[in-house]
A and B are shown apart, each in its own frame.
Chain A
Amino acid sequence: MDQKQRSSFTSPSTSKTPESFNPNYAHSQFNSQTQTQYPNPFGIPSQLIDSQSPEWDPQALLSNLSFLEQKIHQAQNIVQEMIRTNEGQNCIFSEAEMTAQRYLLTTDLTSIIIQVISAAGSFLPSIRTPFLWGNPPISQLGSSIASASNLGPSPNLYQPNPNPDCEELTKGWEENGVEEGADQIQVEDLDVKESEDVDQDGDNLPIGTYEVLQLEKEEILAPHTHFCTICGKGFKRDANLRMHMRGHGDEYKNPAALAKPVREPGSQPVPVKRYSCPFVGCKRNKEHKNFQPLKNLLCVKNHYKRSHCEKSYTCSRCNTKKFSVIADLKTHEKHCGSDKWLCSCGTTFTRKDKLFGHVALFQGHTPALPTDEMKGKNEEIDDKNDSGGVGYNNGDEYLDMKGGYFSPVVNLDSFSFEGLNDFSMTVFDPTESSFHFLQSGSPGFSQKDPGN
């Protein structure tokens, strides 16, 4: 990361793209694409990066320190401004704007802390390398630090301030090469469904090389992290909020307001963060003896929802599968109905070999025929459903309409159990011919061909 920092301070990029009025932005994006992609599924050997980044660089440290100085000045200014406003009792700022100011201050302070740590961290070679590969998105880091260090847990930490003054301030950041959250959007898009296993396989950090953070349940489950200061609407992504803000007036339409908030310059060399699940007893909880940390906030969210929350999203097609993560539901719905491999125990499989592996494993399980999946349940109904089947129809075969003209009558309406209604209606078409069975009155068999 030294290299990256250096470049952002010493050699401003000459990129001409309109959105990159921040010269460092394009560069950082380039970096993020080539070097720090999230997640890092293949674990590119860290030597690759090390070769590019020389040993500790005093120049970089100097830049770091001077940035710190600037930052502290900024913070001082804000505080002074706030005091002045309070003394003058001039209600120029609304209540919300005051809050925003305070958040800005918090951000500054956080950034200062990160910068200090990073400056110190550049002395410690042990943290540098893993950091490159394992760091969670900066914005998440920031928020986690905020919550972990009780700097004031705020859901809308990086919300751009509507105040023009603040805008200037932000601009100032950007000009200073402050970069933050450059990867955030990209990461979230990629990783909406990042599975817990991926990060587990991706890096196995030795214990002690990372810092363990634990968010509270409420924080994890908070649906939105970015709120509009004007109308209060919540968003999951800052980018979406910024787009939303345009609707509140022209002042939000300028490039400065629409641009990504820049990342703080010294934020990279923060120690590696890993997350602990707040659920005590969980393997992902830090108290667990085989604790396996979660890689990033997204993993925390998905893990917590999948493992410790109620599965409230039901598939509208099969009405049986339930999910707690909506992305899981969407993935399932893409394939629902193609889950045609069903075991007699009710488990479904998308692949035949998986079903057969399951059947081989469990005594007495058999693959279900395409139409008798509701075997057990159906048998209960059998008694009520006196459709003249003496001995031949042992319930479980009611659903079979394969033969077409034999089709026993299935009282589809009597299937009260959840989920079957839609399915059975679509599979079986109780045509006229299916009523032969009832009307014929012969014990067990429908009337035969009309020819006889």
Chain B
Amino acid sequence: MCNITVVLSSDLLAQVLDWLHDSKDLKSCRLVSRVFLQAERMHRKAIRPLRLGPLPVLLRRYATSLLSLDLSSCPSLDDVALSVSIPCPNNLRSVSLSRASGVTWRGLKVLVSVCPKIEAIDISYCTGFGDREAAAVAKASGLKELKIDKCLQVTDVGLAKVAVGCSGLERLGIKWCREISDIGIDLLAKKCLELRELDISYLKVGNESLRSIASLAKLENLALVGCQYVDDEGLYFLSNRNNSLQIIDVSRCVNVTSAGLTTLAIGHQHLRKINAGNCSPVITSTFVSKLCMLGETLNILKLDGLQLPVSALETVGLNCRNLLEIGLSKCNGVTDEGISRLVEGCSDLSTIDLTCCHLLTDESLFSIAASCRGVKSLRLESCVLISEKGLDQVATSCADLKEIDLTDCNVNDSALKCLSRCSELRILKLGLCSGVSDIGLAFIGTNCTKLLELDLYRCTAVTDDGLASISNGCKRMKKLNLCYCNQISDTGLAHLRLLEELSDLELRGIVRITSSGITAMTMGCRSLTQLDLKRCYSVDDTGMWALAQYTENLRQLTISYCTVTGLGLCHLLGSLRCIQDVKMVHLSWVSIEGFEIALRSACRKLKKVKLLSGLQDVLSPELLQSLQARGCCIRWVNKPLVFKG
């Protein structure tokens, strides 16, 4: 046997690796030989470890080539861990510490000081972070991208630190930082002139901020979602000076009306995306007709929740020929006629969101199938009037369909038979479709082998056989929702063990499953990260042991109402190394000591816990303090505490 490395030089190997995206494939590649391992080591630019344990080894292996480090999934990450994890001579450009609530400004300071080339930092959703953390991050003067979404304590002062410290910033996300005001935004606009992307969604800022932002000459992407104090005047400011804008999101700005949107359309000739969903609901014809000025560039238009008469949709169809994506979710008054006029003009549409357009019938699907053959994503939730005829037409014409949402559409097995012709299907949502049974799922399992996500929420007709066909066919499944499919038993669950890549599994309210089913399932589904076992009353400690033993990547777990005892809980929480979020309400068989010990054993890892409020007073204050000190968020459910043990 000739040595494969002679044929495959390292740069050829690197080119091969360029095409490998799946972590499993990369893993098997690494295992081929030392040379392959070396090649992979040279090639890899980013890692996202799930645990801290192997991190030092990984970092040693990839030390110099690594550019991006994502620590957002690591539990028990704190300042010490962070400082010892990061190798000192490194080329890291990007670090993500999203939801790393255990880290403080000290850790950030170290991070910034040891990563001289750092360009992107993500500390979003660290809700305890404030100005001090922002100040620590601001020391990275070369920063180009920063996300501090939902760092709730960050005020104008923190933003000013960032603005002054990182004047080369190009992308900034300060969504949900509710303490930031117009003053801070004004300073930001004066200091960071390179800004291209800015997200100020849900801030309590007003038109003055937009006046400041208008001076940013390079701004391309601006998100203003839910800025309730912004109105048409603000958009007018924005339109007056800034012409570089390409993407604007003013959804949920309740005070923005058609007049403001019109000034936007007139003022910005290069807009690619407009999201005006859930603004002031009445849309005037002026705005729609002004869209013709953007006809060349506009790709994405979202008008969710607005009132769109036929004429408006027709004008959109005529004016926006290059539209790729349209959002019409919850638009009152959207009819088949409107849709047909729209799709006549916009034949390139690939994503069509018609969620809750209750008036639509098969006619709409016929016109979509006739005009938009390239549709990839079709959302039809709650379009109760559609039937298998329309879907048949869509499935025939749109062979490229990747995502379809039929939640609450009353589709049946024959519709699934039609849909199964779309072999490219990745996401299929059939929630609340009680007509879907094993027969339909058998078609899906046979033909849609690339399915990644399947939602069978309350599809009560589905039984174990349906799961068997899905498990046998759709081996790449990552997300499966079987909530309240109460005909499923342990046998069905056992079939799921074939889904090795399954990461999200929801089994809520399937009362018949027991620990043996859980055990059988977990033995195969080693990649599980999220599991919902709420109201699976028959699952007991044995199930917990199985989880503790096999699902070592489990991050999010709901075991409310299970018959778990303190012993099982302690073992579970102590063993799961990645566990971060546990909902354990109504565990009547767990004593207070059981809760105490279990929580102590997982104290460093947990970021989110849901408990009965009765425990608030009986758990030791030290425990609660140390949980909260590490940024763990405890949600107390106000219901009586019952102990049956």
* Interface residues, chain A, with chain B CB atoms under 8 Å away: 352-353, 356, 359-360, 364-370, 391-394, 397, 400, 402-406, 442, 444-445, 448-452
B241 contacts partner chain A, Cβ-Cβ < 8 Å: no
Contact residue among A366, A367, A394, A406 (Cβ-Cβ distance under 8 Å from B109): A394
Contacting pair A369 B622 (CB below 8 A):
no
In contact, A360 and B190 (Cβ under 8 angstroms): yes
Name the CB-closest residue of B to A341: B157
Tell me if B59 is interfacial: C-beta within 8 Å of chain A: no
Instruction: Find B623's partner among A393, A404, A451 (CB 8 Å cutoff).
Output: A451
When distances are taken between beta carbons in the complex, the residues of chain B under 8 Å from A369 are: 131-132, 135, 157, 161
Interface of B is mostly: helix
Rank and list the top 10 A-B pairs by shortest CB-CB distance, nearest first: A449-B626, A451-B626, A367-B157, A366-B164, A360-B190, A367-B160, A356-B183, A392-B106, A356-B187, A451-B603
9 contacts between A and B (CB under 8 A): A366-B161, A369-B132, A400-B105, A402-B132, A405-B625, A406-B106, A444-B83, A450-B622, A451-B600
Knowing A356-B186, A369-B157 are in contact, say whether A406-B104 is a contact too (CB < 8 A): yes
Do B156 and A392 have beta carbons less than 8 Å apart? no
B604 touches A452 (CB 8 A): yes
B613-645 vs A, CB cutoff 8 Å, 1 = contact: the mask equals 000000000110110011000000000000000
B58 interface residue (CB < 8 Å to A):
no
Q: Which residues from B are CB-within-8-Å of A452? A: 603-604, 626
Is B165 located at the chain interface by the 8 A CB criterion? yes
| Chain B residues, CB < 8 A from A359 | 160, 164, 187
Tell me the bound Cα distance from A231 to B104 in angstroms: 68
CB proximity to A under 8 Å, residues B581-609: 600, 603-604
Q: Do the beta carbons of A400 and B132 come within 8 Å of each other? A: yes
Task: List chain B residues, Cβ under 8 A from A353.
Answer: 183
Other than A393-B106, A449-B629, A449-B630, give 5 A-B pairs with Cβ distance below 8 A: A368-B157, A369-B161, A391-B110, A400-B105, A444-B110
Q: Would you list which residues of chain B between 245 and 284 have a CB under 8 Å from chain A?
A: none
**Bound form: Cα–Cα A404–B603 in Å:** 19
Give Cα A393 to B138, complex, Å: 16
Chain A residues, CB < 8 A from B191: 360
Contact A392 B110 (CB under 8 A): yes
Q: Which partner residue on chain A sits nearest B182 by CB separation?
A: A353
Q: Are A360 and B187 in contact (CB under 8 A)?
A: yes
The interface centre, meaning the residue of A365, A369, A442 with most chain B CB atoms within 10 A of its CB, is: A369
Across-interface contacts of A366 in B (CB, < 8 A): 135, 138, 160-161, 164-165
Residue B79 CB within 8 A of the other chain: yes
- Interface residue count for B (Cβ, 8 Å)? 36
A133 to B582, CA, bound (A): 78
Contact B106 A445 (CB under 8 A): yes
Chain B residues, CB < 8 A from A352: 156, 183
A-chain residues with CB within 8 Å of residue B80 when the two chains form the complex:
442, 444-445, 448
Closest chain B CB from A171 CB (angstroms): 64
Task: Say how far A18's CB is from chain B's closest CB, in angstroms.
Answer: 57
Q: Which residues of A contact B113 (CB under 8 A)?
A: 391
Q: Which residue of B lies closest to A393 (CB)?
A: B106
Residue of A nearest to B161 (CB): A366
Interface of A (DSSP majority class): loop
**A391 to B106 alpha-carbon distance, docked (Å):** 10
> B71-90: which have CB < 8 Å to A?
78-80, 83
Q: Which residues of B contact A397 (CB under 8 A)?
A: 105-106, 109, 132
User: Nearest-CB distance from A346 to chain B (Å)?
Assistant: 16
Find chain B residues with CB under 8 A from A368 CB.
Answer: 157
Does A364 lie within 8 Å of B164, measured CB to CB? yes
Residues of B within 8 A of A (CB): 78-80, 83, 104-106, 109-110, 113, 130-132, 135, 138, 156-157, 160-161, 164-165, 183-184, 186-187, 190-191, 600, 603-604, 622-623, 625-626, 629-630
User: How many Å from the CB of B129 to the closest CB on chain A?
Assistant: 11
CB distance from A50 to the nearest CB of B (A): 46
Residue of B nearest to A403 (CB): B104
Give Cα distance in the complex from A366 to B158, angstroms: 9
The answer to whether B626 and A360 touch across the interface, beta carbons within 8 angstroms, is no
| Nearest chain A residue, comparing its CB with the CB of B128 | A403
B106, A444: Cβ atoms closer than 8 Å: yes
Contact A365 B164 (CB under 8 A): yes
A342–B83 Cα distance when bound, in Å, is 31
Q: Are A356 and B160 in contact (CB under 8 A)?
A: yes
Which residues of chain B come closer than 8 Å to A445, judged between CB atoms? 79-80, 83, 106
Q: Which residues of B contact A449 (CB under 8 A)?
A: 603, 622, 625-626, 629-630
Give CA–CA (A448, B135) in the complex, Å. Answer: 23
A404 CA to B623 CA in the complex, in Å?
Answer: 16
Which residues of chain A come closer than 8 Å to B131, judged between CB atoms? 369-370
- CA–CA, A450 and B622, complex, Å: 7
Chain B residues with CB below 8 A from A450, complex form: 622, 626
Contact B104 A448 (CB under 8 A): no
Please name the residue on chain A nearest to B604 by beta carbon: A452
Contact check, B630 vs A367: say whether CB atoms are below 8 A apart. no
Closest to A364 in B: B164
Complex: A405 Cα to B102 Cα, angstroms: 13
How far, in angstroms, from A180 to B130 measured CA to CA in the complex? 63
Q: How far is the CB of A47 from chain B (nearest CB, A)?
A: 42
Find out whether the CB atom of B186 lies under 8 angstroms from the CB atom of A360: yes
Residue in chain B with minimal CB distance to A369: B131
Complex alpha-carbon distance, A254 and B603, angstroms: 85
Using known A-B contacts A442-B80, A452-B603, A452-B626, determine if residue A392 contacts B109 with beta carbons closer than 8 Å.
yes
Contact partners of A406 in chain B: CB under 8 A: 104, 106
Closest to B620 in A: A451
Residues from chain A with a CB closer than 8 A to the CB of B105 are 397, 400
- Could you tell me if A356 and B110 are in contact, using CB atoms closer than 8 angstroms? no
Chain B residues with CB under 8 A of A394: 109
| Nearest CB of A to B115, in Å | 14
Chain A hits for B164, CB < 8 A:
359, 364-366
* Cα of A448 to Cα of B132 in the assembled complex, Å: 19
A365 CB to nearest B CB, Å: 7
Q: How far is the CA of A369 from the CA of B156 in the complex (A)?
A: 11
Closest to A402 in B: B132
- What is the bound-complex CA distance between A394 and B139, given in angstroms? 12
- The residue on B at minimum CB distance from A442 is B80
Query: How far, in Å, is A115 (CB) from chain B's closest CB?
Result: 60
- Kindly list chain A residues whose C-beta atoms are within 8 Å of the C-beta of B135: 366, 369
B132: A residues at CB distance < 8 A: 369, 397, 400, 402
Chain B nearest CB, measured from A345 CB (Å): 12
Which chain A residue shows the least CB distance to B184?
A356
